[in-house]
Amino acid sequence: MIDELATLGSLFLVVAFGAIVPIVPTGAAVSGATAFAFHEHPFTIGFVVLAGAAGAYVGDLVMYAMCRFGGEQLARRLRWLRDEEHLIGVKDRLKQKQVPVLLVSRLIPGGRVPVLLAAAFVGISWRTFVVANLPACALWSGVYATIGLAGGSIFPKPWQGVVAAIVLILVVNQVVTWVQKRRTAATPSTSNASG
């Protein structure tokens, strides 16, 4: 039982840290922990989902607070703000549909940070952010846990399921990033051709 608590605590910390320092593959951590739990302690899978969601939620709150109080200058210094043109579009979408954009942002690889920054810079209220981010984090953790569960159930050994889940997450993230870059590259040429 102590080992399970230590593992869940470690998962919480990794995901919270990864929410603040967006180079840590937090989705892969949740998937890997779920694949491992499937083989070793299946009754803890629900706790894995909760630990992942709680870590994501706390990390998002810290990042949102830093952006609200530090502003765009802090975001630039921490290299969170990279694509200012994309940020303008996200700000516009947030002004029209705050809660849906916040909910979906966690599920799109690379979508969370721009939305968090835009939400902070636009001045979305703490109450709106806190309420909308809770189900977003729970849904995110559930999706990545499901991927880990699939990996754990397909492969007979825990390490195989963990590796499969992590590889799947990394491949999906790379494909989504590639598609987004192609769309972004195609958008200016389309607007220039019509003008």
What is residue 188's predicted lDDT score, i.e. its pLDDT? 54
What is residue 1's predicted lDDT score, i.e. its pLDDT? 60
62/71 Cα distance (integer angstroms)? 13
How does 110-138 read in b/e, with b if 16+ C-beta sit within 10 Å?
ebbbbbbbbbbbeebeeeebeebbeebbb
What is residue 180's predicted lDDT score, i.e. its pLDDT? 64
What is residue 70's predicted lDDT score, i.e. its pLDDT? 76
What is residue 61's predicted lDDT score, i.e. its pLDDT? 93
What is residue 176's predicted lDDT score, i.e. its pLDDT? 66
Task: Extract the residue ranges of the chain whose pLDDT is less than 70.
Answer: 1-2, 74-90, 158, 173, 176-177, 180-181, 183-195
Could you tell me the pTM of the whole model? 0.77
What is residue 193's predicted lDDT score, i.e. its pLDDT? 46
Model pLDDT for residues 48-99, shown as the tens digit of each residue: 999 999 999 999 999 888 888 877 776 666 666 665 665 666 677 777 777 7
